Structure 1
Amino acid sequence: MDLKFYRQPFSAWRLSESKVNTLKYAGMLFALSGTLLLSACSSPKSTAQTASAQEPSSDNTANASQIQQKYQVEDIATFNEPWAIAKLPDGRLLITERQGKLKLFDPTSKQTLDVQGVPKVAYGGQGGLGDVVVHPHFADNHWVYLSYAVQGQGDYGAEISRAKLDLSNPQQPKLINLEKIWEQVPKMSGQGHYGHRMLFDYEDKLWVASGERQHFDPAQDMTSNLGKILRLNEDGTPAEGNPFAGQAGVAQQIWSLGHRNPLGMALDLQGQLWIVEMGPEGGDELNLIKKGANYGYPLVSEGNHYDGRPIPEHRTRPEFQAPAISWTPVISPSSMIIYQGDQFPLWQGKAVIGGLSSQSIVIVDLTQPVAKEVQRLDMGERIRGVLAANDGTLWIIQDGAQGKLLKMTP
């Protein structure tokens, strides 16, 4: 199989999907019980916008109960290729820029400072400085965690390091005691599908979304931690109780497998883990993550290969876990939170998903057994990240060289 095409940078093969979205959504309004609802049009593969957690459906958002939460957006600041956003207990923000800078932004004074001591990153393709998360007990230990792409012996992979954020000099924040705690195994050619999103749960376990690096097979290979969702201790070691703890090597890190390029992770109000990941040509997925489950990629998908070769759908292989929702046309998910604030009451407990090619924020009701898209916000720009502020308003970062930090309020 010729993999060259699949290893192209993100921008090279998602552009056409953006055009598809623009064309296929334009003017397609259907009346349902007197209410105008936005619906995606059909394509040869499944166009599921709403589906059960066990079997994808061909229903679209026209079958979902739509909501109309009102909001307004304000431009706050501008960053150079921002990728991730996190908050400190006092409300200040940490924002990563892909070329290797970590910014500390104060929403009150609007001051932006460079944080010193960031590890060297491999910038290019989809690579660079990636995610940033703050330890749940940051007030006591000052740990922050960074994920980023590195190059070694000609090939590439993601790493995670943690460091203490030293704020003793108000004008010169810096990282100290930097230590690498995790890496993708093995390193691979190309600079795509790192994934490398991170999330701490309510038991202080560190969850890592690891992409399959556009190499397909690693997602099913238990000697690799690529194409997997991983559950680690705060120091990067495998957490006790993982489903493959009895196996050797990186298998001890693995919680679930068969993932493509997971770029959003969030816990719902019941503590269940959800991820959103990019499909191939169609078939972006929202998945409820179950212990030891196999989500099937590249053996099954709701999308097809970019050269037109079909991939069997989940319904043909019931041993694989099907997505809760799949999107065709794609939304190109970049990030996700599950909203728990009170500023946007209609979004309470719902997933808030950033969209790149769709230039949108997608709201999903996670109510079981059927999850449904219930609102889509046209943002007019590629959305890279979403974060709930301490007061329940939302911080949003756009993608790109002049990516804006936006504040969303009711």
Structure 2
Amino acid sequence: MTAGPLARFKVLDLTRVRAGPTAVRYLADWGADCIKVEMPPSAGEMDMGGPRHGPDFQNLHRNKRSITLNLKEPDGKAVFMKLVEQADVVVENYRADVKFRLGIDYESLKKVNPKIILGSISGFGQDGPYAERAGFDQIAQGMGGLMMVTGNPGEGPMRAGIAVADVGAGLHCAIGILIALLERETSGQGQWVSSSLLQAMISMCDFQAARWTIAKDVPGQAGNNHPTSIPTGVFKTKDGYINIAASGGHIYKRFCEAIKSPELYTDERFSTDKGRAKNRDALNDEINKRVAQYGSADLVEKLNKAGVPAGPIYKMDEMFADPQVKHLKMAHPVHSPKLGDIELIGQAINMSRTPFEMKTATPEQGEHTDAVLKEAGFDDAAIADFRKRGVI
């Protein structure tokens, strides 16, 4: 195993549930020394977002070390500030006001280490009318516009099947932290980086959101139809369903030829982009009639050979069995002392010289407390005293 491109950075991870742990995972996977700070068992269990040995927690906290530390105790805060002196980054996703109550806000951290970078994730932003509200992925999906462009028309709002806002906020925060680390090389100063579930959700709505800001067009629900590219959607084959993306004149022509239906290209209702948009439902019906004679796998192969984007619609087990997914190594093996040999989800970034590594499974609670505190300068007697008093 190599040291990893981020090995020179030390990260103190105060995060929980999903958005914050996602941000830190990017840093950990490329070698940063990420120290997960958890409450001692004697101080009560933190809201971890699921069982420690469940798939979700294991996938979020790989490649980290774990210490226990009670930040509500004066000595616990003092130990934390000692760690801050030697750290590069602190990441938290408390409700916006909590860090100030604990005395670990950016200005407080900066006094201890002017080079420190604080990465913060909240539900709605660090200030403003909703700053004190607790964040939750589905709430952000609704407020960020996603649920009213997801699902079938007339069936009411629909959430996405994954934690888009949480993961998006984590990704945005990680990018911000990396930018701040690069900027620090010039300025020599740290800074406060923040993102929120609401901001991430709006950002990820992207072109749908821009339809309103630029054209004052309020996009609606289109179900499995792409909102602007036609015909693009889900079509029923002889043995299931596939996605077909045949928008644009040249691709649409190739599609019609591939399914041996040139009449769909010459039909005046469907011969232009404008006509296909106006008569979308009729066109979808005609396509479904024709693709019903094909098996899914055969049709996907046929269309891709013809230069028409198409793909199967997988359940999770089918997805991981796909040869391209296997080639991309999106299921990465790691050995867990508790769970044995398991597979976690790989990163979606490929780098020619410095790929990410799955070095260690998620640690047990406080597994590295003694080692980390000794690195910070505390001796065995001090550590034993902290443990006796519930500080660690």
Q: Choose 1 or 2 for highest CA Rg.
A: 2
Taking structure 1 as the reference length, what is the TM-score of the superposition?
0.25
More contact order relative to length (CA 8 Å, sep ≥ 6) = 2
Taking structure 2 as the reference length, what is the TM-score of the superposition?
0.26
- Greater helix proportion: 2
